[in-house]
Structure 1
Amino acid sequence: MMNVAYISLGSNIGNRLEFLQEAVGLLKETQQIEFLKVSSVYETAPVGYVDQAAFLNIVVELKTLFTPHELLGKCNEIEDLLGRKRIVRWGPRTVDLDILLYNEENMKTEDLIIPHPRMAERGFVLVPLMELNPNIIDPRTKQAFSNLVHDQKEGVHLWRKFDGVDAFVHFEG
């Protein structure tokens, strides 16, 4: 059975757009993944550790045959391939992939929490997520995420829109 998942991607080192494009391309090439949508690109101020460059952020919607942990493994593999180093918590990174939602799952294991535990407080997640699916419901609270997004828009700026996944992956700026 195909599962629906939403993944947040962010980058603030080097050619930020190129890292996002490469990560989306690697997800798209994965046999167990069918790509549905990619949000516009948003530029956002850092959260947590603020002494770093601004991020570019997107959210992607996909269908997958992977279990949540297999999808996490694929996300970690892509981060490693693209040179992510985990030195400072919430620090600078070439690329970061976080599973936000997976079907209606509400799960917590040692290495994976779905829905993502801090997504409701992060405009750089909520704004692109609402662009993809404004009717999505938080499986924990059964509340619409759209009720939260209005308070989280500060510091989240539209950077560039793309007409679909292929246009995003193949854009040369």
Structure 2
Amino acid sequence: MTTAIPDPSQTPGTETETEAATVLHEPRLWRDGGWTAYVMKNEDDDGWAVAMVRDGEPEPALVGPWTMGRDKKNPKPLDTSAFNTLVKTASEVRRRHEQQLHALLHKRVRVNTETLGEIVVTLQIVPNDDDPYALLSAIDALDETLAQIRVTPGFKLNQASAAAWIENDFARMD
């Protein structure tokens, strides 16, 4: 589904960015509680779509089909119930995205050793545009950092790689 997401500052009848926190309830545009819902023409067919944008974010958190009105030409107007449902759905999408990103950037495994006991090895990826890297850390049962080195963001952390790093006295992994 291709839809054009309007720029809030360019949409007729909307406030400027300094007034973005203002509550606005129009049939095709609602702004309330940090969210803005836009109902727009779906460019791919005769239907309508709705986009939910969180204040301050450049991209919509959710874009989906919107119901036709009784005349079968125009969209059904936004109302409190629909807006609240859209906010809930868009918030869930954002939360899942944040959880997925966190899981991609933060990994951890536990390794039991004879001499040091249980060691937690973590990999935290720093997605810097110019110089991405990751930090590999070893933490003991008392939450003390035993070692930390910088590795490539593509480093594969698993039981075997963590155990090998510990067995090699936390030597640099190139």
TM-score, length-scaled by structure 2: 0.21
The higher radius of gyration belongs to 2
Would you tell me which structure has more helix in proportion to its own residues?
A: 1
Q: What TM-score results when the alignment is normalised by the length of structure 1?
A: 0.21
